[in-house]
Amino acid sequence: MTYAVSVRTLCEFAARRGDLDLRFHLAPSGQEGVAGHRIVMGRRSASYQKEIALELQHGLLRVRGRADGYDPDAGRLEEIKTYRGRLRDMSASQSQLHWAQLRLYGHMMCQKLAKDEIELALVYFNVTTGRETLRRETRSAAELQVTFNALCTEFLQWAEQELRHRQERDAALNSLQMPFDSFRTGQRTLAKAVFRGIRDGEHQAIQAPTGIGKTMGTLFPALKAMAVESAGSTLDKVFFLTAKTSGREVALRAARMMLDSDAPSLRVLELAAREQACEHPDKQCHGDSCPMARGFYDRLASARETALKQGLLDRATLREVGLRHAVCPYHLAMELVQWCDVVVGDYNYYFDVGATLHAQTSTQQWRAGVLVDEAHNLVERARAMYTATLAREELKGLSNLDDRLGSALAQVDRAWSDLLADQTEPYQCHPTLPQAFIQALRGASGVISDQLDKLEQDGHDRVLRFYFDVQLFLRLAEGFGNHSLFETTIPVLTQGHSRTECSIRNVMPAPYLKPRLDTAHACVLFSATLQPRRFYSDVLGLPDTTRWTEVDSPFSADQLDVCIVGDISTRWADRQTSLAPMAHTITSQYARRPGNYLVFASSFDYLHRLAEAVNSMQPDIPTWLQERGRDAAARAAFLDRFQAGGCGIGFAVLGGIFAEGIDLPGDRLVGAFIATLGLPQWNPANEALRACLEQNFAGRGYDYAYLYPGLRKVVQAAGRIIRTPQDQGVVYLMDDRYNRPAVRGLLPSWWRVQTVRSPRKDQFAKS
């Protein structure tokens, strides 16, 4: 049995020493890196050999990698590294890692060509200036073999341990049992689909109703499939990706139920956001500033060994291990991805621009099963990941920190003025990117990378944040196409705009997501709302071979009364006149069946006005309201009002935190009133979105921009009512547009819908 390891992984494991140092991290974009490699290779002779695949066996280790280039005339092997900023700012640990990689490639090349010695060159290419810096050495084959053997020997014991872990893991997963006595109705169908899809390497989109236990119904079969050999190999990783912290917590709870606490044979890792895991947010990530970065790589081995004995590495456990070994918990988690079986984290860890899980899956050639929880959220989240916004006001705040920086930002400001010269409205969507503005940003980016470390800490941090915003903007500019919009806004105080901004807004994430989906061995997107199929397939870039499954609801139509109040309009012009009939509908239902209810409105303003109407009509009914921007404690307090056997009405915003992902079974929640169709607000920005989608998907622009997102929020909110086979409840859909066939066709098929009338206005006048 052999253990395959990449040159990079071997070196990162055995050759890194010293501090964690992120000062020299102003990395070029992926496209700039590729372009830099091409430029360097284009300067070489015709005999120059590019991208040389190398592989060598050492005991049970199979070491493999790809050297950048070899010049046979000079007998020189080259490793090309692209960078920004000043080469002298590179940390010793990073330089040491580069040399270790090159020396391993040197040994493998000597073996391949039967050479007694070889010249090695690290070629550092500055993507801003185009300058090459060569650092060279000549080594004998015997010297390089000593280095190779030493690193392999250090890794070998670990590799043997990892092979044992893999065997024990697969044996444990083969005998793993569902931690409940039986599957819920519908859960078995879901589990079978997930198991077969991951086993066979298929991408799937599964619509399964709320309340059947989708987390356990996907994670359990994924683990069972992990140990099944397919095409000569088992699965390396399972990534469980969520949109919210609550989803992460549910997944970790499910994993904990399946772990053997006495002898954990499965390693489960939680990836939290950096701001949640950082112990010293006021310090920079290098040894001169942060004590948990100082000597990080010297203590990493012992921290890694301690961590992997825990089984479940949630945020609290990682913090405990990190503090015990004086290493940064956040970066410890990043190092442990390589050695863990299941990783639970946010969407961005796989789908974002620089997503670590996707990058490692690609470079390490892992067979990864990707589970995407509540996948309907991926549309908006991915749009945000590939959207970049710059604020002009930030330029003035940074210009006085440094003369060179001020001059570069002044050029950006002048280009911005030219861009806005003809703009009279608060918002404008431009047909093309302004190249003068883009060039000014590139120039400023280069200056920032040169000047950054000369700034005081406060200025350094502010400029660094701006630099990252600029870098994302430039990366998106490189791939700008019919999936994106270039937009500018100017301050119009009477309309609430206070900043001058420009943005590249991604409205169709398919071009960015498709390569990430293709990298996965199998990907399962699951949600209670993945209809219509064509919308999600088009916008997310799902492969044509994606298998679609709809799990039948375990709930019957008798459990849920769905009433369309078909003579109320919640359109903007009718908001005021809609309040009285809606309030009467709400209070009448409450009188017939007192209990806990939720009312969902389209905005905080409408929510408050509707609550006032209910209170005015029936002041004895307890009410509580979602407030804008409240913290976790306030959110918990809102949910705590929904006690079993209680009575009252909570008011919340449709599409907000209380409209999905909350579980109030039994009589904790007996009904909901949805006082809107859920359509996004009409405004110039949403109209630009509609026009872009119409251009890409003729005839479907309105549906993709307005109708489908609106009805998805409605169905998610209604899904809070029936959570178990014993639940009974009612949903009122209060808007006349629910009578339209196109709208009704988007409601769940198991619903039995009836139309009711609201009281006439003259009834309210008499009362």
* DSSP-assigned states of every residue in 583-635: HHHHHHHHHHS-SEEEEEESSHHHHHHHHHHHHHH-TTS-EEE--TT--HHHH
Read off the pLDDT of each residue in 692-715 and give the average, rounded to a whole number: 95
Q: Tell me: pLDDT of 767 over 60.
A: no
- Which superfamily does CATH assign the domain made up of 192-266+341-386+511-551 to? P-loop containing nucleotide triphosphate hydrolases (3.40.50.300)
For the chain, give the percent of residues with pLDDT over 70.
95
Residues 49-83 as b/e (b if ≥16 CB within 10 A, e otherwise) read: eeebebebebeebebbbebbbbbeeeebbbbbbbb
Q: Tell me: pLDDT of 270 over 70.
A: yes
pLDDT digits (tens, 9 = 90+) for 159-190: 999 999 999 999 999 988 888 878 888 899 99
Q: Tell me: pLDDT of 25 over 70.
A: no
Instruction: Look at residue 665 in the predicted model and tell me its pLDDT.
Output: 87
Task: With 0.85 as the threshold, say if the pTM is over it.
Answer: yes
- Please list the residues that pair with 671 across neighbouring strands: 597, 730
Confidence of residue 764 (pLDDT cuts 50, 70, 90): very low
Read off the pLDDT of each residue in 542-558 and give the average, rounded to a whole number: 92
- Give the C-alpha separation, 140 to 416, whole Å: 57
Which class for 695: exposed (0-12), middle (13-18), buried (19 or more C-beta within 10 A)? exposed
Read off the pLDDT of each residue in 342-360 and give the average, rounded to a whole number: 94
Q: Cβ of 411: how many Cβ atoms within 10 Å?
A: 17
Q: DSSP strand E in 357-500: where?
A: 368-372, 388-391, 427-430, 484-489
Q: Tell me: pLDDT of 536 over 90.
A: yes
Instruction: Look at residue 177 in the predicted model and tell me its pLDDT.
Output: 87
Instruction: Look at residue 546 in the predicted model and tell me its pLDDT.
Output: 96
pLDDT digits (tens, 9 = 90+) for 385-424: 999 999 998 888 888 888 888 899 999 999 999 999 989 8
pLDDT digits (tens, 9 = 90+) for 452-507: 767 776 677 788 889 889 989 998 998 899 999 999 999 865 455 568 999 999 99
User: Listing from the earlier edge strand, what are the strands of the sheet with 501-506?
Assistant: 388-391, 501-506, 484-489, 427-430
- Residue for token digits 């945020």? 315
Read off the pLDDT of each residue in 379-386 and give the average, rounded to a whole number: 96
Helix spans in 227-273 (H): 245-258
Contact 737, 677 (CB under 8 A): yes
Contact 617, 641 (CB under 8 A): no
Nearest Cα neighbor of 645 from 623, 624, 620, 667 is 667
- What's the length of the chain? 767
| The CATH number of domain 557-766, selected from 3.40.50.300, 3.40.430.10, 3.40.50.1970, 3.40.640.10 | 3.40.50.300
- Give the C-alpha separation, 251 to 661, whole Å: 13
Which class for 601: exposed (0-12), middle (13-18), buried (19 or more C-beta within 10 A)? buried
- Give the C-alpha separation, 173 to 269, whole Å: 17
What the block records as the tokens of 110 is 């000597």
Q: Tell me: pLDDT of 585 over 70.
A: yes
pLDDT digits (tens, 9 = 90+) for 609-651: 999 999 999 999 999 999 987 777 888 899 999 999 999 999 9
Confidence of residue 88 (pLDDT cuts 50, 70, 90): confident
Instruction: Look at residue 766 in the predicted model and tell me its pLDDT.
Output: 38
Start and end residues for every CATH 3.40.50.300 domain found in the chain: 192-266+341-386+511-551, 557-766
Q: DSSP strand E in 338-380: where?
A: 342-346, 368-372
Instruction: Look at residue 765 in the predicted model and tell me its pLDDT.
Output: 41
- Please list the residues that pair with 125 across neighbouring strands: 82, 132
Q: Tell me: pLDDT of 128 over 80.
A: no
Q: Tell me: pLDDT of 262 over 60.
A: no
Read off the pLDDT of each residue in 317-340 and give the average, rounded to a whole number: 95
Which class for 682: exposed (0-12), middle (13-18), buried (19 or more C-beta within 10 A)? exposed
What the block records as the tokens of 594 is 């007192």
pLDDT digits (tens, 9 = 90+) for 49-60: 999 999 999 999
- Give the C-alpha separation, 278 to 281, whole Å: 6
Q: Cβ of 253: how many Cβ atoms within 10 Å?
A: 12
Instruction: Look at residue 264 in the predicted model and tell me its pLDDT.
Output: 65
The tally of CA atoms less than 13 A away on the side-chain side of residue 717 is 33
- Give the C-alpha separation, 427 to 684, whole Å: 7
For the chain, give the percent of residues with pLDDT over 90.
68
User: Listing from the earlier edge strand, what are the strands of the sheet with 623-625?
Assistant: 623-625, 648-653, 596-601, 671-674, 729-734, 560-565, 753-756
User: Listing from the earlier edge strand, what are the strands of the sheet with 547-550?
Assistant: 312-313, 268-270, 342-346, 237-242, 368-372, 522-527, 204-207, 547-550
Start and end residues for every CATH 3.90.320.10 domain found in the chain: 3-156
The CATH-assigned architecture of domain 3-156 is Alpha-Beta Complex (3.90)
Q: What are phi and psi of 97, to 5 degrees?
A: -65, -40
Start and end residues for every CATH 1.10.275 domain found in the chain: 389-508
Q: What is the CATH number of domain 389-508?
A: 1.10.275
Amino acid at 737: R
Read off the pLDDT of each residue in 149-161 and give the average, rounded to a whole number: 92
